[in-house]
Structure 1
Amino acid sequence: MQTIFVMVKCELGRSYQVADEAVDIEQVSEVHSISGQYDLMLKCYLDGDVDIGQFVVDHIQLLPGVKDTFTLIAFKAFS
C-alpha cells in the first residue's frame, strides 16, 4: 500500500465542487481544505502496483475545476 498526499489548486470558486468530486474517488481517504498556494489536500491510499503519476493524471487532474496539483509521496507513518 502506498500513501500519497495531493495538493490541489482549484479554479476560483470551485474548491467545494472539486472536494465533493474527490471524496467519491475510491482511493481518496480524506479531503481537507487548506490555506496557502493550494486549496485542497487529498490523502490517498494506492495499491503497491499502481503507477502514482498515472493515478494523479487520470483521477485527480481531470476533475472539473482542478488547475494544478502537487504530489507528495509518504514513506512511513508514525503513530
Structure 2
Amino acid sequence: MQNAVILINAEKGQIKAVAERLAEVEGISEVYSTCGRYDLVAIARTTDFESLAELVTGRLMQVEGIRETETLNAMQVHSRHDLETMFSVGL
C-alpha cells in the first residue's frame, strides 16, 4: 500500500469545485479544504508506487482548476488511533 498527502492550490474561486472533482478520482480517499498556504489536502491511497505515480502525474493533471500540487509520499505511519483500535478488542 502506498499513501501520500497531496497539497493543492486551486484557481481563484475553484476550491469547492476542485475538491468535489478530486473526491471522485480513484485513489483519492479524502479531500480536506484548509486555510493557510494550501487550499486543499488530498489523501491518496494506492496499491503500489506505480499506481501512485499514475494518479499524481496522470489523473490529477486532468482535474480542471488545479493550479499547483506538492506530493508528500508517506514512509511510515505513526498513529495512536491505529494502536488503540488494535488493542481495544471487546471494549
Identity of aligned residues (%): 28
Which structure has the highest strand share of the two? 1
Gaps of 5+ in 1: none
Q: How many residues align?
A: 79
Q: Which fold has the larger relative contact order, with Cα–Cα distance below 8 Å and residues 6 or more apart in sequence?
A: 1
TM-score by length of structure 2 reads 0.78
Larger radius of gyration: 2
Amino acid at match of 1:64: E
Gaps of 5+ in 2: 80-91
Matched ranges for 1:28-47 at <5 A:
28-47=28-47
Cα deviation digits, residues 2-56 of structure 1 (max 9, x gap): 0001111000000000000000112101100112221000000111142544321
8 Å CA contact retained: 1:4, 1:45:
yes
Q: Output the CA distance in 1 between the equivalents of 2:25 and 2:56.
A: 11
Aligned to 2:10: 10
